[in-house]
A = this chain, B = another copy of it.
Amino acid sequence: MPDILHRVGIKVPSKNVYEALTTVKGLAHWWITETKGNAKKGGNIDFGFSRMRVLETKPDRFVKWKCVGGPKEWLGTEITFQLIRKAGQTFVLFKHAGWKEPVVFMHHCSTKWAVFLLSLRDWLEKGEGRPSPYDIKIHVGD
């Protein structure tokens, strides 16, 4: 099954990145403004268009979600963020795994994830996140 993969490097400590991934307030600053719920291990996060269960967390190192609501192509897929400290920055290795088919929507989501991971970087480095609905659009009507 095809996966979406990405990597960005962020010039802040791993714990700052981890906090932006495991708190509703943090997630609202870079992905979806209207994020609600509980972003800790075992919690459910409501992103409006989708819901994630937090399957696993390792402080400052790893976060894993499972999609439990939202677009049918996302249901059951898993999203992981692996944090690696190296060369004066925190690398985020991102994977959105478990897509059944490489549909057009997967192409779209791959490009959007890149945009949002750069939003995460810009939020943490400069306080300039671009969460939805303020995100960079990738087509007319996005």
User: Interface residues of A: mostly helix, strand, loop or mixed?
Assistant: mixed
Which chain B residues border A88 with CB–CB below 8 Å? 140
Q: How many residues of A contact B (CB 8 A)?
A: 35
A3 touches B2 (CB 8 A): yes
CB nearest to A114 among chain B residues: B114
Which chain B residues border A41 with CB–CB below 8 Å? none
A7 touches B87 (CB 8 A): no
A3 touches B102 (CB 8 A): yes
Which chain B residues border A9 with CB–CB below 8 Å? 138-142
The residues of A with any CB-CB pair to B shorter than 8 Å are 2-11, 87-89, 91, 93-95, 102, 104, 106-108, 110-111, 114-115, 117-118, 121, 136, 138-142
Which chain B residues border A11 with CB–CB below 8 Å? 140
